Structure 1
């Protein structure tokens, strides 16, 4: 068996966390080129770490070896998210996944579609009325208000002050996440982290209040109450991630990347092709997931030695898999850095199994179907109603990779297409 190439260095002195956080793609790609391998080792967060950056190895890691690792987030994020599915292991994680899957499957009802379409219409029906639209901020506001409606049964139009307060708390809570990575001890006691913990407590209090109110029979809150969580505290902790900034930022990131990808002057026909073909639109969304997954990947702590793609991963190490780099594996995707929707025309279902935008294996995202359905409905509406072009910016925009990937800045101008043409591509139709 082979030992991954690379240097783990001495504790503290050999740590390369700062270099990694400054530019994830530069850090990883330079080492892939240097070592000639997509699996290598380094020292991150002062811990020997194996990086996994090939499609086949990430797939193997998340499916065949998941029982040999524990999640690597608890020390960093437990004080901000509490006891929930993100940190649990083994049979407890299986129990919680089953409960959450039940909630989301039950939530995928006509009521969900009606809420989504209402918010799509509310936020995107008049994009053409402005000369320039800040795309990420527009999508983030949409996603934030939609998540409050779906998960707290709270409509920002009916209760604007309360919705504003919840969104502000979620923002402060998120700033605590940003403060964590490089110095856990100092960050925990920093003012931003302290404020984030206070915001978490206030969000939980709001969740408790909404759970006590009368919700519609088919609402998320009702389904969650009936799902079988062992007590009120566990229920509240599992609603918290969905009303935090985490989900809206992920949705906004994917929609912004999709908008950018179809916005290039050299790709004007892509908008028309996506308008005319639901298959082509689906391929565009798969390419967006492939090139720009909003979550970097994941971190695990190794509990026992195992062999990954011919390399030994030792007990006591950490493992970081990087989805966006694995999705650019040239052994799987020809011209991997090119946005090419037609690559999905052949054998797309098999290739989809090598996308990790929502994770894979037993620990995959419980809201995958909801997220994919939502992203599709918004994108259908946009291509069915509008053409759009970039504002006064270069076409190749810089990406901010951590803690959530997205283009740093993006404005676009939207113009309406012929409405008789757009009608056939209204949200909810394939």
Structure 2
């Protein structure tokens, strides 16, 4: 049994949390190069921690030894959402997953399709009308918010605009609790970000409890009738499901999708994705591989164990870095290249090596619904538009925490497909179009 490469440092002085959270990709790449391996140790959140950047190591952590490496009960997610299937361990987590799975599969999933389609149309139908570049991340985040609040809470933007706006603002404030120092402090005329987030959580819970008591339709009604362990479980899970986390993840992946297929040079890929469902599926797998919405996840060793052949003592942390796992050259040849074709070739059937939504028994319960969301939006975009970066030269450097996206949200111009086809010989498509051109 080998000793972990690297150094866990000493308490406080050796902590690398600030360096990691500032730029996790540079952090892991420097150490992979230094140690010549994709598993190493350091100190994160003042705890000796194993960093996993290999596909095999991730599978061992999340699948083979999921009963040894557990969720951290002191995680900020617990403070902000309470005990949910994301934060609990053992039998409680298994029972919660069994109870909730029915809401994200089968007939429940199919019954959502018409609403998902209608929201995609409403939010995406006017992308070309202004003739001006669109901040796509904002557009897609609004789309994700409408989907989440409509499906999970029966609050639809077009029917209850004031309530929708109130909940959206509260969700944003609540979200800030995950990226604020956990200091609950109030003084006259000022509150800490964490304190403000907790206040927003309490207001959201009041709205949620009212919905659970008075609404018997859709997801809310189905959730309220499930056999859950206690009276607070339904409201805590609804708080999780309407979290700003989901629209941000949705916007992250859609933004990366439009960037990957933008411009004239990607026209053939857009055509294939529009006409071949299997190819679109491969494109989305490759988008998720290269630009995972979430950088990874953290566990705590409940007993002495091993990972990738290295000894891991009880109490050590273990964090898998999805960006590193997804670019493991042992699994993915040309790991930094955008190659959708890999998923019908060498990597066919290897989706289990993707982990931005987790993997194994604790993977995201809503992954199937997320897949429906993404494909519906992508099909609409591909069917109706060509698009390009506008201006063509933009800083597309990604930030990876708390949810990945370009640090400077990119802007794109959209042109209706019927227009771009009729103007195929016009080499000026790369110039700004006027509103009259686009709507004619």
TM-score (norm 1): 0.92
Which residue does 2:332 correspond to in 1?
Answer: 333
- Report the counterpart of residue 76 of structure 1 in structure 2: 76
Check the 8 A contact 1:58/1:321 in 2, yes or no: yes
Q: Could you tell me how far apart the structure 2 residues matched to 1:170 and 1:358 are?
A: 21
User: Offset of 1:356 from its aligned partner?
Assistant: 1.0
Q: 1:108: Cα distance to partner? A: 3.5
Counterpart of 2:414 in structure 1 is 414
Structure 1: give runs of 5+ residues left out of the alignment: 422-430
> What residue number does 1:11 align with?
11
User: In 2 relative to 1, CA 365–197 (structure 1 residues): closer, same or farther, beyond 3 Å?
Assistant: same
Distance in 1 between residues matched to 2:402 and 2:321, nearest whole Å:
13
**Equivalent residue, structure 2, for 1:425:** none
CA distance in 2, matches of 1:51, 1:265: 40
Please report how far the alpha carbon of residue 395 of structure 1 lies from its aligned counterpart in structure 2 after TM superposition.
6.0
- Structure 2 gaps of 5+ residues are 422-440
Quickly say closer, same or farther: Cα 1:313–1:188, change in 2 above 3 A: farther
Aligned to 1:270: 269
- Alpha-carbon distance in 1 for matches of 2:311, 2:184: 33
Q: What is the CA–CA distance in structure 2 between the aligned matches of 1:188 and 1:53, rounded to whole Å? A: 37
Cα deviation 1:224-248 (Å, max 9, x = unaligned): 1222113331111111111110111
1:247 paired to 2:263:
no
1:384 aligned partner: 383
Pick closer, same or farther for the CA change 1:359–1:271 going to 2, 3 Å.
same
CA shift, 1:153, in A, is: 0.6
The equivalent of 1:60 in structure 2 is: 60
Deviations 1:312-345, CA, capped at 9 Å, x for gaps: 1111110010111100001111110111111112
Structure 1 CA distance for aligned equivalents of residues 178 and 215 of structure 2: 32
Contact in 2 for aligned 1:71/1:301 (Cα 8 Å): yes
- Count residues in correspondence: 415
- Structure 2 equivalent of residue 178 of structure 1: 179
Q: Distance in 2 between matches of 1:326 and 1:377?
A: 27
Q: CA deviation at 1:107?
A: 5.7
For residues 134-176 of structure 1, the C-alpha deviation after alignment (integer angstroms, 9 at most, x for no partner) is 1000000111011110000111111111000000000000111
Tell me the TM-score normalized by structure 2.
0.90
* 1:113–1:136 distance in 2 versus 1, CA, 3 Å: same
**Residues 395 and 108 of structure 1: is their aligned pair in 2 closer, same or farther, counting only changes over 3 Å?**
farther
Give the Cα–Cα distance (whole angstroms) in 1 for the partners of residues 83 and 8 of structure 2.
32
Measured after TM superposition, the shift of residue 214 of structure 1 is: 3.3
Q: In the TM superposition, what is the alpha-carbon distance from 1:374 to its structure 2 partner?
A: 1.2
Name the CA shift for 1:73/1:398 in 2 (closer, same or farther; >3 Å): farther
> Structure 1 residue 347: deviation in Å?
5.5
CA contact (8 A) 1:84 1:237 kept: yes
| Counterpart-to-counterpart distance in 2, 1:113 and 1:366 | 18
Deviation readout 1:261-300 (Å, 9 max, x if unpaired): 1115532321122112212111110001111111111001
SS at match of 1:97: helix
Cα gap change, 1:138/1:107 in structure 2, threshold over 3 Å: closer, same or farther? farther
Q: Secondary structure at the match of 2:297?
A: strand
How many Å separate the matches in 2 of 1:157 and 1:84? Answer: 30
Question: Which position in structure 2 is the counterpart of 1:194?
Answer: 195
Tell me, yes or no, if the aligned pair for 1:133 and 1:412 is still in contact at 8 Å. yes
Retained in 1: the 8 A contact 2:254–2:374? yes
The alpha carbon displacement at 1:310 in A equals: 1.2
Counterpart position of 1:309? 308
What is the aligned partner in structure 2 of residue 424 from structure 1?
none
Distance in 2 separating the partners of 1:235 and 1:27: 39
Q: RMSD across aligned C-alpha pairs, in angstroms?
A: 1.9
Q: Which residue of 1 aligns with 2:155?
A: 154
Question: 8 Å contact 2:148–2:247 — kept in the other structure?
Answer: yes
Shift of 1:82: 1.0
CA displacement, residues 188-231 of structure 1 (integer Å, 9 cap, x when unaligned): 78611001011111111111111122343xx1112112221133
